[in-house]
Structure 1
């Protein structure tokens, strides 16, 4: 037993429990205290690290544990940047990212080299290496952008894509300069470097998604999935180092590779973000702060001069890159601020470069002291540059993100106030514990992202039964549904209905709660009935005109590669066209999967015009003969999911062949996920309930057949609500 008298409180603290608890309290209170004086959270943690570190009050040492957790935090930042990026938008803006990447690499390289040679009087190799430090940057401000909810903005995608380009080029410059200084740059050096990079990138980009899909299909344990993802991140980082480049590039590529396997609305994504933002990333920021030595401000004039030149050149060059990007692509000032804020912070790659350059000895002085490629003044100046650039980056990024969020908010219609009559409400009847999680995940995927309270779970208990076990079982099912929703940061409303008739019970709940969409799950072993959908589902469809989704899951939602959407002719003339299209669009936005629409030429035209407005990866295939429906199976791959848009019998797009769909699905599509969608029908009694997204109910014939402007405006309003 250890008594208080036996504990050591001498500085620096050595007790691991005391060290860890101290860091946790710093993570908790430093941002809160400094936010009151308008200092961003990230800077608060860096300053706190400087205050408690070996160059401050020496409360804690920057030992191996801090370095380890800090390394994890650094890789986490890059991994999250790759994971959260919208791949559709990333591909769409890849050209812009390339141009920004070259701006933010070439401008700092040019200004930095000139400043090193003519202002600081450094040698050419030292000046080039110094310039490469200015060219690289770290996405320190990315968590700020993420919290502001503007990571989908085009400027963010351009900045993140440009980061990959400039960091890779800067780190290649580091490898070449160091190699030249050591006399290692030969023909074999270049061949080895190129081959190793190609092999490394190929393994991550092509092999990681295959491994991830294989693992997620066979293991649904939440902890195992998280550990698996983390293991791949560090494996990717190690492969990058083995290829001769920095680990942060491997972590970023791992994020891109796993992007579609970790949907933004999934519980796994919620856990990844939570652990990183709560623990690992703050550890990294505190570790960076521990490197700062404020004494150099008044002890070493050379260091101060070098630090001022480095900071001014780095900041000016990054601003010029953001400015030219703004003018090239006609971005707003807020978007320019976000790009500048994301690209100005010098930390990860800069630290790597200066530490590597500091270790390289290129000669000796007359007194026998080593001459380093990057000397002491550059090492200390780099630490001060990191503090200043991170401060500027955080403040500017926060300001720009706030403006962007405000601009995006102002694009919504003025009547955005929602009451109980205008909210979306998605009802999910739960009957089988085996498919509850998948039903909830589908509900979270199709709903509007900003709506956190739109999910309702329902279980019907026979009113003529006196068996209490049925009520207890119903409560357990609803509790499991609530837990699944909570894991995605959504609140679910539990409903128990006592009714002797299942159809009446569900349809009455739909009316009483003004439900807008319903998701009906099929038991994996039961599937669809050959007598179409069965009495329960057919009864619900006949007595309720809301948008209905009938879902059969054969593999986890996050392992689906593509969605094949079969749309009937005249679907655009249905009143519910806009609403089911929004839900399908949400699937593409939230999962990153490609959407392939099959339909006749006229219907596809409407969908294509919508697709042009948004960064959803979509394809279009003409298909009009539903008698030849089985031809779809030729295009359906193992990890594809099928979405079939049907119609009730009184619908404009109804086709008698639709009655054969259940038989086809059971016989030929039994290994694929599928969703049957029944669009909202036009019903005067239901108009008030379905005017829930701020759009007026319009004449479906006018919207679908004659007036696309009305339809386009309605779709735009729907998406702006997101």
Structure 2
């Protein structure tokens, strides 16, 4: 029963906060994240830390899985593949600068090299789910910039996993093999490409013969969960699997049904829990001792992504305003960095002392991304219309 009460609070709070954010000219996701901080342990304490609540955490995970699934459904495959070069370049530059920046911060605050390197790895992460929702609200999900960001986020996730595997194998050893990590990634993408090319289209034709909306929706959900599980099983973020599941159905005739029937349901029940959950992970306990570190982390985390990813976009042909837009869209660290931070803490790659400042910096990048993204998109549209 406690879960039901928590869901009532979260759903009502996020919808009200989202409406208020829109009223003030901001994306609704900004209000949903901020209200999570307010109702969570950081302020009112109506709901505890989401990481300590397994059921609520599951709802949150389903939320981001569905969010990325619909991002895949709404993505033009040709746009995604035609921007591969740009996406890879954006990802590389968007990883290198935050990695160096994080390492230098750690060194300047007296952390040992291992902790400093891990701090840099956390800052390389990108949670594109926040930008996806903002792109959707602003009708920008089918643009070249959006396709590049999605592709770059996938590459970013792969690079981050490799870096994490390298550090763990060197410092901890034993349980992580770099060749194994690489092999799993190769197998994952090989299977996904084959499935999206041959298997899913064949099954879709069979499903279409039933002419049943219910069967089509069940097929979509099963496919989404299966891809997400397979990605997680192969050591890749489950949201990458969800995105490719959606992408496999992007050309399906039933995609309109998915958007009209399935999206409103999960949009009310699961997705708000994910956005609020980011705020629920925040606690301000002991931040006074590390306020300097927090401020520097926040500034470096934002600037290194904008500059790094922006440079990558610029040298692959994007105009300056579009390059800045892409850089901003890559700023949010979200759940990807939160998961990486937890792994580092568990493996002894980071200390509890610096964990809270890092989490606050991660949430800060997530909160500032929607308004910054809306701001830069409005500037771009004004220049385009002139």
* TM-score (norm: length of structure 2): 0.89
Structure 2 residue corresponding to 1:138, chosen from 109, 124, 127? 127
Structure 1 residue corresponding to 2:188, chosen from 193, 200, 203? 200
Equivalent runs, 1:555-634 vs 2, <5 Å: none
Query: Residues of 2 paired with 1:227 and 1:130: CA distance?
Result: 41
Match of 1:86 in 2: 76
Give the 3 Å change call, closer, same or farther, for CA 294–34 of structure 1 in structure 2: farther
What SS class does the counterpart of residue 251 from structure 2 fall into?
helix
| Offset from partner CA, 1:460-510 (integer Å, 9 cap, x none) | xxxxxxxxxxxxxxxxxxxxxxxxxxxxxxxxxxxxxxxxxxxxxxxxxxx
Match of 2:352 in 1: 376
Query: Residues of 2 paired with 1:115 and 1:263: CA distance?
Result: 50
Query: Residues of 2 paired with 1:263 and 1:93: CA distance?
Result: 26
Match of 2:336 in 1: 349
Give the 3 Å change call, closer, same or farther, for CA 170–406 of structure 1 in structure 2: same
Contact 1:262 1:268 in 2 (8 A): no
| Offset from partner CA, 1:217-247 (integer Å, 9 cap, x none) | 2333223322322222222222222222332
Structure 1 residue corresponding to 2:232, chosen from 199, 219, 241? 241
Contact 1:101 1:162 in 2 (8 A): yes
1:256 and 2:247 matched: yes
Match of 1:24 in 2: 11
Match of 1:126 in 2: 115
Structure 2 residue corresponding to 1:228, chosen from 219, 232, 246? 219
Give the 3 Å change call, closer, same or farther, for CA 208–336 of structure 1 in structure 2: closer
Match of 1:279 in 2: 269
How far apart are 1:49 and its partner, in Å?
A: 1.2
What SS class does the counterpart of residue 236 from structure 2 fall into?
coil
Q: Is the deviation greater in 141-150 or in 159-168?
A: 141-150
1:98 and 2:88 matched: yes
Match of 1:162 in 2: 152
Contact 1:83 1:258 in 2 (8 A): yes
Equivalent runs, 1:257-406 vs 2, <5 Å: 257-261=248-252, 266-298=256-288, 301-302=289-290, 304-360=291-347, 372-406=348-382
Match of 1:150 in 2: 140
What SS class does the counterpart of residue 245 from structure 1 fall into?
coil
Query: Residues of 1 paired with 2:353 and 2:65: CA distance?
Result: 28
Query: Residues of 1 paired with 2:100 and 2:253: CA distance?
Result: 39
How far apart are 1:358 and its partner, in Å?
A: 0.8
Contact 2:86 2:313 in 1 (8 A): no
Query: Residues of 1 paired with 2:72 and 2:349: CA distance?
Result: 33
| Offset from partner CA, 1:340-381 (integer Å, 9 cap, x none) | 231001112101110001111xxxxxxxxxxx3211233211
1:183 and 2:188 matched: no
How far apart are 1:184 and its partner, in Å?
A: 1.7
Match of 1:457 in 2: none
Query: Residues of 1 paired with 2:268 and 2:382: CA distance?
Result: 27
Q: Aligned pairs, how many?
A: 379
Gaps of 5+ in 2: none
Higher relative contact order (CA 8 A, sep 6+): 2
Query: Residues of 1 paired with 2:309 and 2:172: CA distance?
Result: 35
Give the 3 Å change call, closer, same or farther, for CA 275–338 of structure 1 in structure 2: farther
Give the 3 Å change call, closer, same or farther, for CA 338–230 of structure 1 in structure 2: farther
| Offset from partner CA, 1:275-314 (integer Å, 9 cap, x none) | 343332211011111111134443xx13x23322322221
Give the 3 Å change call, closer, same or farther, for CA 111–23 of structure 1 in structure 2: closer
Contact 2:33 2:367 in 1 (8 A): no
| Offset from partner CA, 1:546-587 (integer Å, 9 cap, x none) | xxxxxxxxxxxxxxxxxxxxxxxxxxxxxxxxxxxxxxxxxx
Give the 3 Å change call, closer, same or farther, for CA 44–156 of structure 1 in structure 2: same
Give the 3 Å change call, closer, same or farther, for CA 114–31 of structure 1 in structure 2: same
Give the 3 Å change call, closer, same or farther, for CA 177–110 of structure 1 in structure 2: same
Larger relative strand fraction: 1
| Offset from partner CA, 1:505-546 (integer Å, 9 cap, x none) | xxxxxxxxxxxxxxxxxxxxxxxxxxxxxxxxxxxxxxxxxx
Give the 3 Å change call, closer, same or farther, for CA 172–79 of structure 1 in structure 2: farther
How far apart are 1:107 and its partner, in Å?
A: 1.6
Match of 1:74 in 2: 64
Query: Residues of 1 paired with 2:358 and 2:214: CA distance?
Result: 39
Query: Residues of 2 paired with 1:341 and 1:334: CA distance?
Result: 11
Query: Residues of 1 paired with 2:358 and 2:92: CA distance?
Result: 23
What SS class does the counterpart of residue 229 from structure 2 fall into?
helix
Structure 2 residue corresponding to 1:217, chosen from 205, 215, 231? 205
Contact 2:95 2:124 in 1 (8 A): yes
Query: Residues of 2 paired with 1:110 and 1:262: CA distance?
Result: 46
